Amino acid sequence: MTSKTIGIFEDDQKLLKLYGDFFRHKGFNVFEARDANVGFAILGRHAPDVVLLDVMMPQIDGFEACRRIRGILGPTVPIVFLTALDDLEAVRRAMAAGGDDFLSKSASLETVLEHVEAWLAHSDAARDALRARAVAELAGQS
C-alpha cells in the first residue's frame, strides 16, 4: 500500500465520492474539494503528491485553479486534468495552465490509477521531460 496523498478537485459529489473511495481503497490518503477555493485552503495543510483536477467547476475553472495550484505547490507536483472535455483546445489550455496530463472522465478508474502511478514513479527531472514532450507534441498539432 502507498502512503501517497492525492488531492481531488471535482464539483460533482457522486464523482468525487467515486474517485475518493477508489483511491482510498488503493491505499492513498485523499483530500477532496468540491470547488477550487476549498481545495486551495486544504493545500496549505495537506500537500498532495498528485492532483486530479476537473475543468468545469463553479467560481474558478480548472485552468485558473491549475495556475494557482502551481503557485502554491510549485512545478514538481503532477496535475492530471480529469474532465468531460475532450477537445484539443481544452488539452492545449490545460497544458498551458501548467497541467501535466489530461484524461477524459470516460477513462476507467484503473486507467486513471495507471496515470497517477506513472507520474508518481518519475523523478522530478523525468516529470519535467515528460511535460516538455507533451507540450511539444501539442504545439506540433497546431
Give the model's pLDDT for residue 126.
62
Supply φ then ψ for residue 29, to 5 degrees: -80, 135
Give the model's pLDDT for residue 9.
95
Give the model's pLDDT for residue 124.
58
Alpha helices (H) in the chain, listed in sequence order: 13-25, 36-43, 62-73, 88-96, 109-121, 124-140
Q: In tens digits, what is the pLDDT along the chain, a chain of 142 residues?
A: 458 999 999 999 999 999 999 999 999 999 999 989 988 988 878 789 999 999 999 899 999 999 999 998 888 899 999 988 878 888 899 999 999 999 999 999 999 999 999 999 875 566 666 666 666 665 665 5
Cα separation of 25 and 47, whole Å? 20
The predicted model scores a pTM of: 0.84
Give the model's pLDDT for residue 75.
86
Largest CA distance in the chain: 42
Give the model's pLDDT for residue 138.
58
Alpha helices (H) in 30-107, listed in sequence order: 36-43, 62-73, 88-96
Give the model's pLDDT for residue 86.
78
